[in-house]
Structure 1
């Protein structure tokens, strides 16, 4: 996937200088481009924590830069959409844990601080697999560029005569290796995933990814939305070893969604994500040095696209 954020709770990593909130009762241990991770003392990091607070910020990134300003409400919109999809994938084990517990006298104690309520998920820590599980149902982005050169995507042969944005004969699984922080993820073959995680886990990751994509694409289609491609991340439950769905799922930052009516009319660029930001940067920045601040109009248009997707999918 192109420019997909990856901040899943996995091996411990140092906190980055990205802005984050101080939350009473929680220790900040990591910041990715758009999300912040916290653990409960006495845990000192992800390695010895049982559960993690994943906070989605309003930060927006493109071309490996965190941009200014952020997109108001983005963290809450993406968290809401992710939780909505987790509810619809209930038979797939996931990393969510209850965000409240009973206290003295049967009183309910909320575990997510008010300051980040609505844009946070409480999750159990997993031993994350170093694989991004990408599924493509349509020809787009880097896949289209590769297809023009080789009539293949990530080494998978495709028929001649396809155009940019066309639906593929069937969805394809094109995994990527999750590179260390600061490096670029790398497309890999299925055989390489077998080397990384073993044949049984590799097969399960592929089967789960294709199955979840098919279900989600069918749901989106009933809402007049096309799920062109997406990426999933999985980890092993530390107690049971069960392969578990993690990270955000099927959001605008991890997926490419198109308006079905626009696609039918020939517009293959009408996506529900930060493509507006990317297009503006391409027209106004040479990708040297610090990117310019985003104009208010670009910020609002991007926020509106995030909101529209959530409303279209959930009916809210």
Structure 2
């Protein structure tokens, strides 16, 4: 998958680009700080689509920062006094991050069963080695959230759902247990806060690193955004008059996925997104931000 060329930023050297984020290191001086810039790119089915979603990067960054300020554990945000100046043109979608030793685990927590987790449950009766009761249907809320880690595959490859036992093999028993416990603790607190605002946090993924100086577990990357999480409108979810697809409409790029499924056979390059699909997706991102934070996005 090819990505657009990352912009040049004064004082920073481009290091890496993912589907959505571009990473930079200081052009001069200590290399213990990273600049993480969220683009407006939108991806689906392993393609970066055109056009981008205006304002998406700033929304994701603002929502991550809002959650970081409410999560009681160390995070990756760095002291801005210890790094080069962040260029004004990307300041609202950039995070200064401490350099960490990242764990190769995506820490997925599911408070509901849907998506790939539900497909695995249909085939095996379990998810990532966790056996679940029979009779669960797509979108059902789980009595207790479950931790279902994934191995972070190299760029361009698919992540692999793994068992907790496999995560122990990858990072050791102490780190694996710490990743699981922190993920479940953060998810539970976030789920409860979202519920107060009429939003269901169905599932999410966290990424963690190790502070090379202290050895502390550190929450990193984005957190609880509409790109890393599945949120549902509680009033819609519990409306028995609606069909299942309506009840499970999420605050993310699902509108894009739905349009592609109806207008593309997944052969060759995907079509350009229509203006109305871009606008609807942008509105969905904005609505989640407002619902959670109480602030209107300009």
TM-score normalized by structure 1? 0.89
The 2-side partners of 1:268 and 1:92 are apart by 33
The reply on whether 1:132 has 2:111 as its aligned counterpart is no
Matches within 5 A, 1:122-201: 122-201=96-175
1:251 to 225, 248, 258: 225
Cα shift at 1:110:
7.8
Q: Residue 69 of structure 1 corresponds to which residue in structure 2?
A: 51
Q: Residue in 2 aligned with 1:50?
A: 32
Asked if 1:310 is matched to 2:296, the reply is: no
1:203/1:149 CA distance change after superposition, 3 Å:
same
**1:165 and 1:222 mapped to 2: Cα distance?**
20
Instruction: Note the C-alpha offset of 1:100.
Output: 4.2
Question: Is this contact kept in 1: 2:148–2:162, CA < 8 A?
Answer: yes
* Residue 17 of structure 1, CA deviation: 4.7
Q: Return the match for 2:80 from 80, 99, 106.
A: 99
Q: Which moves more between the two structures, 80-89 or 18-27?
A: 18-27
Tell me the equivalent position of 2:243: none
Deviations 1:22-47 (A, max 9, x none): 1111111111111101111237xxxx
Q: What's the secondary structure of 2:231's corresponding residue?
A: strand
Q: Per the alignment, do residues 157 and 17 of structure 1 end up closer, same or farther by CA in structure 2, a change over 3 Å counting?
A: closer
CA, structure 1 residues 277+215, in 2 after alignment: closer, same or farther (shift >3 Å)?
Answer: same
Query: Which SS does the other structure have where 2:281 is aligned?
Result: helix
Secondary structure of 2:247's aligned partner: coil
* C-alpha distance after superposition, 1:292-315 (max 9, x if no partner): 000000000000000000000000
In structure 1, the residue matched to 2:8 is 22
CA contact (8 A) 2:113 2:140 kept: yes
Asked whether the 8 Å contact 1:234–1:243 carries over to 2, the reply is yes
- Of 255, 259, 284, the residue aligned with 1:280 is 259
Q: Secondary structure at the match of 1:170?
A: strand
Aligned to 1:13: none
1:171 counterpart SS class: strand
Alpha-carbon spacing, 1:110–1:52, altered in 2? closer, same or farther (3 Å) = closer
* Cα distance between partner residues in 2 of 1:19 and 1:255: 27
RMSD: 1.5
Paired residues of 2:3 and 2:19 also in contact (CA < 8 A): no
User: Separation in 2 of the partners of 1:100 and 1:72?
Assistant: 30
CA distance in 2, matches of 1:100, 1:69: 35
Q: What is the deviation of 1:118? A: 0.6
Q: Would you say 1:118 and 2:118 are equivalent positions? A: no
User: Alignment length, in residue pairs?
Assistant: 289
Instruction: Give the Å deviation of 1:149.
Output: 2.1
Distance 1:132 1:230 in 2: 10
